[in-house]
Structure 1
Amino acid sequence: MAAVDGLDRFEPPAPVPRTVPPSRLEIIRTVLRNPLELWGEPSYTLPWIETRFFGRTTLIVNDPELIRHVLVENSTNYPMDEIRQLVLRPILRDGLLTAEGDVWKRSRKAMAPVFTPRHARGFARQMLEQSEAFADRYATTDPDGLVRDISVDMTELTYLILADTLFSGEIVADNGDIAGDVEALLHHMGRIDVLDLLRAPRWLPRLSRIRGYRVLRKFRSVVRKTMDARRSAMTDTRANVPRDFLTLLLDIEGPQGLTSAEIEDNILTFIGAGHETTARALSWTLYCVAHSPAVRDGMEAEIDGVLAEGADPVEWIDRMPRVRAAFEEALRLYPPAPSINRQAFADDRFVASNGKSLDIRKGTTVLIMPWTLHRHALHWENPRAFDPSRFLPENRERIGRFQYLPFGAGPRVCIGATFALQEAVIALAVLMQRFRFSVTNETRPWPVQKLTTQPGGGLPMRVRPRGVATPQ
């Protein structure tokens, strides 16, 4: 367990665990509206629970040993869950998040070189430049500052960073409203439909997603135009073609690499989901820090000190442990991917180190939920409180590898974890060095599970200049 120092800590909004099991009708309504509101007290207190949903056995897992067994030691027996794929594959098709088998292996191998820690650190300067340019939007002479929907702003900022680092700025939406398009896509496409719960065939149209297909077609059109333009540049010996993520994927297009459709799917995955996860975590971080003056003061002092020394941005992630800890604590409380869904391919038996065993039958849905795992009484002290000190260097070793899963684990661990952490530290440092973010009377976010953990109703916050001169 991670220690808490006894200070009063801010407890950000979250559903209170149910004490009475929901009826079948309540389950359907809650899953369709907001699955985070479904889970009862046992999900936050017991290592695992077996239950029945719609005639099928579901195993809810919060035991680190069992999580390791499912995601690492016997991962081949636990492919993607059917319902998860019914939700995500219509959007991402054979992108890295949804591909399986040989397609996933080829895609993962192709993209791995771009996201090694060493390569990811090479993006630090571009992350800094985009963050500084974005921060200029908050500049104002009004002492009351500006009121902005931070959830929208962070979506746009992380998109700009992703577009510059991975695509050299060549992916641009026709209307420029990336944040709105992503929100529309996830609102209409990233939620469970009642036909998914009933495991209806994929060819049966999901009426709840019909409006999302227009946005999806728009995204795919942008991606195809970008791919075509880059292909043309790659065949022009006079062109100065950037060696970025887009070029790398097109370099391996062909029978031995990825098909054109698979490349399109992976680009869409990073546009639609890759930056969305970081954006949500940044938004929640700024919100929690606004309620935690002591945490904010420590972060500001750390940021001011490092920037005053003129440290290269590639060093910030190591030299700003308080900034990183605040972001990681927000990832704990509001994991961008609140559930990891698997399904047992064959019968399996798990034996814990204490001798306790569990038989898992073929076809069992296995839910590993960072949402409940990160708030679990067996693993965290004061689990509902925002306490970044858990993640400071002197405390990190107390956190087990499989009790904290913001980026998953095993073969399908998030390929962009290092990229996201570095991006978050740089963005937070730039924004907090120049501005303070505070809540307003309208700031009443509620966590809602769509494709990510989003602040329902938006996240309006007041942004005021700090009055600290920017180091030259």
Structure 2
Amino acid sequence: MDMRPEPFVPPAPEPRTVPPSRLEVIRTVMRNPLELWGKPSYTLPWIETKFLKERTLIVNDPGLIRHILVDNSANYEMSEIRQLILRPILRDGLLTAEGPVWKRSRKAMAPVFTPRHSRGFAGQMLAKSEEYVEKYAADHPSGAVHDISVDMTELAFAILSETLFSGEIVTESEKFSDDVDSLLHRMGRVDPMDLLRAPPWVPRVTRIGGQRVLDKFRKVVADTMIQRQKRIRETPDAVPQDFLTLLLQLEGPDGLTMAEIEDNILTFIGAGHETTARALAWTLYCVGQSPHVRDAMETEIDQVLSEGAEPVDWLERMPWVRAAFEEALRLYPPAPSINRAAIRGDRWTSPTGETVTIDAGVTVLVMPWTLHRHELYWEKPRAFMPERFLPENRGNINRFQYLPFGAGPRTCIGAVFAMQEAVIALAVLMKSYRFDVVPGTKVWPVQKLTTQPQDGIPMKVVRRRST
């Protein structure tokens, strides 16, 4: 007899059973695109749809996903609607740049995020996580209620600032989470003009007020660059050899322009830490509803830390902690959609002989949100079951049915960095505290630039043992 408790099923929109009208599509996309998808998106390998005379192919089949994102990736460019949303914010940052600009940027930044280099950040990640736990102890009594989504934004920002910018981002970090939320709320959403493919100069009513927040972010970046350039000129031997210095040294005819450097710094300060922050918050929420998972994680954390293992080894030494984070990434992928458009006509044939024809100009949606909850590929797809990602079970997961960091040439450059950061942060937090869901709390995921909790995640933070 299986004595395992029934797994926790976290909140998410139910698949639609009736297709929405055109007006409902617009309203839903503006409010929360996660609520748009119907039953076929969670049960069929691919679906062809049409909206406002534009054909769209929604792809869930892992083989077809591999074909589009890897094998024939050169035939698929960023979709127009994605760029209409993101480019006003990030311009030529790594997430939005294309062609030669993207190739130069990716090549320039790749050395910073190799697995070997990322492992070198473990000590700084540990120090910042421990500082945050000390802040909990100093500022709040045990049992105080925190908005975990805000807390994890602050922690992830502190880690990113220290590891990639040596703590020299010129901003007031205590207000940073509010600034991020404001920017994403105002700028990181679909506007009706985007759906109509209106050119960028046409005003987006839903983003009125967002420019002020974006200007504030741009000023943070400009001030950070100016401060570091001054140090490079005045004390070149004492300048940190970090991500910020590397980018500034790449300026020149054969490297990046100053505008491109600014865009990439903004990308990492804003979007670069936002994804990890959201995933950490969702992990703590799901673990708080799963006592048997939390027990396994605490036992593992206590054992590894009592043995004095170095933080660089925690990612491999803590399979339950890693699995819980990966399962949260499955249920609440930070990037819930990957949008492409076919440059030329294309064709793919499945192992069973079915053929998919993709005409030039067709929009292709690879949807981690639906793919990760798809009935063809997952047991109990809506349930929080970290066991899926334990070492003995990982072989059952196709590389292209799980895409928290994307795939192909544009896979997330910071994936190893983020995984290591998450395991270290979770281990330090859960060593000293338990995060319990506040009774009556109703958490709801919404898609903006990332998958966010609509009204935060209030949780009671209870001291587990003395630090």
Please report the TM-score for the alignment, with normalisation by the length of structure 1: 0.97
Q: How does 1:203-218 map to 2 (within 5 A)?
A: 203-218=201-216
In structure 1, what is the equivalent of residue 194 of structure 2? Answer: 196
**Pairwise CA distance, 1:240:** 0.5
SS at match of 1:177: helix
**Pairwise CA distance, 1:443:** 2.4
- Tell me if the contact between 1:138 and 1:146 (Cα under 8 Å) persists in the aligned partners: no
In structure 2, what is the equivalent of residue 83 of structure 1? Answer: 81
- C-alpha separation in 1, matches of 2:236 and 2:253: 27
Unaligned runs of 5+ in 1: none
Q: Report the residue type matching 2:358 in the other structure.
A: I
- Tell me if the contact between 1:286 and 1:437 (Cα under 8 Å) persists in the aligned partners: yes
Q: Percent identity?
A: 70
**Pairwise CA distance, 1:264:** 0.3
Q: How does 1:152-163 map to 2 (within 5 A)?
A: 152-163=150-161
**Pairwise CA distance, 1:353:** 1.7
- Tell me if the contact between 2:324 and 2:386 (Cα under 8 Å) persists in the aligned partners: yes
- 1:94-129: per-residue Cα shift (whole Å, max 9, x none)? 000000000000000000000000000100000001
**Pairwise CA distance, 1:176:** 3.7
Pair 1:59 & 2:92 matched: no
1:258 is aligned, of 256, 259, 268, to: 256
In structure 2, what is the equivalent of residue 293 of structure 1? Answer: 291
In structure 1, what is the equivalent of residue 127 of structure 2? Answer: 129
In structure 1, what is the equivalent of residue 407 of structure 2? Answer: 409
SS at match of 2:78: coil
RMSD over aligned Cα atoms: 1.4
In structure 2, what is the equivalent of residue 164 of structure 1? Answer: 162
Q: Report the residue type matching 1:169 in the other structure.
A: G
**Pairwise CA distance, 1:139:** 1.4
SS at match of 1:79: strand
- Tell me if the contact between 1:114 and 1:120 (Cα under 8 Å) persists in the aligned partners: yes
Query: Structure 1 residues 172-181 or 49-58, which shifts more?
Result: 172-181
**Pairwise CA distance, 1:441:** 2.7
**Pairwise CA distance, 1:140:** 6.4
- C-alpha separation in 2, matches of 1:13 and 1:408: 24
**Pairwise CA distance, 1:434:** 0.2
- Tell me if the contact between 1:131 and 1:427 (Cα under 8 Å) persists in the aligned partners: yes
1:68 is aligned, of 66, 69, 82, to: 66
**Pairwise CA distance, 1:174:** 4.2
2:276 is aligned, of 256, 275, 278, to: 278
- C-alpha separation in 1, matches of 2:371 and 2:341: 19
- Tell me if the contact between 1:299 and 1:322 (Cα under 8 Å) persists in the aligned partners: yes
In structure 1, what is the equivalent of residue 147 of structure 2? Answer: 149
- C-alpha separation in 1, matches of 2:432 and 2:204: 46
**Pairwise CA distance, 1:445:** 1.0
In structure 1, what is the equivalent of residue 390 of structure 2? Answer: 392
SS at match of 2:179: helix
- Tell me if the contact between 1:43 and 1:49 (Cα under 8 Å) persists in the aligned partners: yes
- Tell me if the contact between 1:162 and 1:275 (Cα under 8 Å) persists in the aligned partners: yes
SS at match of 1:385: coil
In structure 2, what is the equivalent of residue 337 of structure 1? Answer: 335
In structure 1, what is the equivalent of residue 347 of structure 2? Answer: 349
- C-alpha separation in 2, matches of 1:455 and 1:367: 23
Pair 1:241 & 2:243 matched: no
Unaligned runs of 5+ in 2: none
Runs of 4 or more off by more than 6 Å in structure 1? 140-143
In structure 1, what is the equivalent of residue 22 of structure 2? Answer: 24
- C-alpha separation in 1, matches of 2:66 and 2:264: 27
- Tell me if the contact between 1:43 and 1:372 (Cα under 8 Å) persists in the aligned partners: yes
Cα distance 1:144–1:423, how it changes in 2: closer, same or farther (>3 A)?
A: closer
Q: Report the residue type matching 1:22 in the other structure.
A: P
SS at match of 1:464: strand
- Tell me if the contact between 2:337 and 2:366 (Cα under 8 Å) persists in the aligned partners: yes
Q: How does 1:308-327 map to 2 (within 5 A)?
A: 308-327=306-325
Cα distance 1:206–1:141, how it changes in 2: closer, same or farther (>3 A)?
A: closer
SS at match of 2:364: strand
- C-alpha separation in 2, matches of 1:6 and 1:309: 29
- C-alpha separation in 2, matches of 1:160 and 1:442: 31
SS at match of 2:379: coil
- C-alpha separation in 1, matches of 2:52 and 2:5: 44
SS at match of 2:58: strand
Cα distance 1:169–1:357, how it changes in 2: closer, same or farther (>3 A)?
A: same
Query: Structure 1 residues 433-442 or 312-321, which shifts more?
Result: 433-442
Cα distance 1:201–1:302, how it changes in 2: closer, same or farther (>3 A)?
A: same
**Pairwise CA distance, 1:65:** 0.5
- Tell me if the contact between 2:170 and 2:221 (Cα under 8 Å) persists in the aligned partners: no
- 1:361-394: per-residue Cα shift (whole Å, max 9, x none)? 1111100000000000010000000000000000
- C-alpha separation in 2, matches of 1:150 and 1:222: 25
Cα distance 1:29–1:67, how it changes in 2: closer, same or farther (>3 A)?
A: same
In structure 2, what is the equivalent of residue 372 of structure 1? Answer: 370
Pair 1:10 & 2:42 matched: no
Query: Structure 1 residues 440-449 or 286-295, which shifts more?
Result: 440-449
SS at match of 1:139: helix
Query: Structure 1 residues 400-409 or 138-147, which shifts more?
Result: 138-147
Query: Structure 1 residues 239-248 or 110-119, which shifts more?
Result: 239-248
**Pairwise CA distance, 1:137:** 2.2
Please report the TM-score for the alignment, with normalisation by the length of structure 2: 0.98
**Pairwise CA distance, 1:151:** 0.2
Equivalent residues, number: 466
SS at match of 2:238: coil
SS at match of 2:360: coil
Q: Report the residue type matching 2:434 in the other structure.
A: R
- Tell me if the contact between 2:170 and 2:223 (Cα under 8 Å) persists in the aligned partners: no
Query: Structure 1 residues 328-337 or 218-227, which shifts more?
Result: 218-227
Cα distance 1:261–1:6, how it changes in 2: closer, same or farther (>3 A)?
A: same
Query: Structure 1 residues 258-267 or 434-443, which shifts more?
Result: 434-443
- Tell me if the contact between 1:19 and 1:41 (Cα under 8 Å) persists in the aligned partners: yes
**Pairwise CA distance, 1:22:** 0.6
In structure 1, what is the equivalent of residue 111 of structure 2? Answer: 113
**Pairwise CA distance, 1:7:** 3.8
- Tell me if the contact between 1:342 and 1:367 (Cα under 8 Å) persists in the aligned partners: yes
